[in-house]
Amino acid sequence: MAKSRYLNANRREDVYWAGALSGYLVSKTPYYSGEALKWLNSTLLSLECFLKAILKGIEPKEKQAIESMVKDLTPVIQVDRFAKTGLEFVTVDADTLYDFGEFALEYCHHCEGNYNTCKLRELALKVGIPPLVEIGPCQYYRGETPKRRMEG
């Protein structure tokens, strides 16, 4: 009789990531269509096949424990380093940086509509400030024309 096997810590973490990512991506499928949805579904199928392969033959109680843990996990993007000067890295809490970025974008009164040369836009992209919109002249565009912004 084949002996049941267990996952080592590294493989267990891989399973946690794959399972959590799969759950996250499943929740995003309603927002995609066409070719993007086709590739997303292909990715989900690959993750499912990976999970089945790695969990095949492990101790049933361990498998159940892993599946329970995956349901309680949410993948999170965590940025630890934002700017590099020489060999030193500047570190800051991501929420603080995002709050700063939102403040800067909310109160920018000097926009002249030069989105391709905007230094604030360039900086926001470099440090990973999440975009506000998907469509528009700039991913941080708030729908106000520069002229109205200057008058207000």
pLDDT for res 151: 46
In a domain, 1, yes or no: no
Are residues 90 and 146 located together in one domain of the fold?
A: yes
Residue 152: per-residue pLDDT? 43
- The span from the first CA to the last CA of the chain, in angstroms, equals 79
Measured CA to CA, the distance from residue 130 to residue 124 in angstroms comes to 8
The DSSP output letter for 136 is: S
Last residue of a domain, one of 21, 41, 71: 71
Q: What is the DSSP string of 88-142?
A: EEE---HHHHHHHHHHHHHT-----S-GGG-HHHHHHHHHTPPPS-SSSSSTT--
Query: What was the pLDDT predicted at 74?
Result: 81
Q: Are 57 and 93 part of one and the same domain?
A: no
Q: What is the CA radius of gyration of the chain?
A: 22
* Mean pLDDT by groups of 10 residues along the chain of 152 residues: 68 91 94 96 97 90 85 75 63 78 68 75 75 73 52 44
- What domain range is 112 assigned to? 83-151
Please give the pLDDT value at position 107: 58
pLDDT at 26: 95
| Residue 94 sits in the same domain as residue 63 | no
Identify whether residues 92 and 146 lie together within a single domain: yes
Does residue 3 form part of some domain?
A: no
Within a domain: 25: yes
Structure token digits, residue 125: 């992209």
